[in-house]
Amino acid sequence: MTEEILEETALAPSELIELFKHRSATYGLLSRLYAKEVDDELHDTLWPIETGTDAGDTGNRLITTYLSGIWENTLTELAADYMRTFFGHGYSGHAAAYPFESVYSSEKRLLMQSARDEVLALYRAAGLSKQESWKEGEDHIALELEYLQILSDRTAEALCKGDTDTATSWVRAQYNFLDVHLDSWAPLLTAEVKKFAKTDFYRGLAFLTEGFLETDREVLEELLAED
């Protein structure tokens, strides 16, 4: 018998819909920040991500403080720090905070390992395929975050239609993905981002990611908890 999890929550349907829309927007922003360098368009749309955690507060403070000191070469500085932080000066397995799950889940810190195959299978099962313009592995953190953004959107859409069974299945899928994949390696990545980043912007992004994922896991656990 299917548990009517989302029907039993204390949140009203409209509040649940807004919750998943907000989660989607946050996952979308984090995904974009990891996908490529900051540009003028993105810079103008950045906003604080409230997580209710010490890590999240630290991340917001670091990013806000950094952006308060904008100068004519800020975007150039951020682009250089992005490349240095996530790709270093060549791949050695330990020279940067490489943003791929395989690096952290394989013994020899190699790219394109079983983690990549596993997330690719999940993407395809959800009817998703990567854009031709994306040249990196499917286990890049930007794609894993975007996957959760898409599932959050689908949850909100199901709730708008009153389809709580479908919404519940998408919530379970998100929790399972966090549990098996993102939460198993994102803390390792963010620890290395703090190590390699030279700007408070990317150090702040590491803290912010930690804070949000911690809070989001708790949100999903609460929604899926049986009375």
- Write the DSSP string, 47-115: -----SSHHHHHHHHHHHHHHHT--TTHHHHHHHHHHHHHTTTS--SSSS---BHHHHHSTT--SS-HH
pLDDT at 50: 84
Which residues of the chain fall short of a pLDDT of 50?
1-5, 227
Among candidate residues 177, 109, 184, the one with its CA nearest the CA of residue 146? 177
pLDDT at 118: 96
pLDDT at 91: 62
pLDDT at 211: 96
pLDDT at 3: 39
| CA–CA dist 104, 93 (Å, integer) | 9
pTM: 0.92
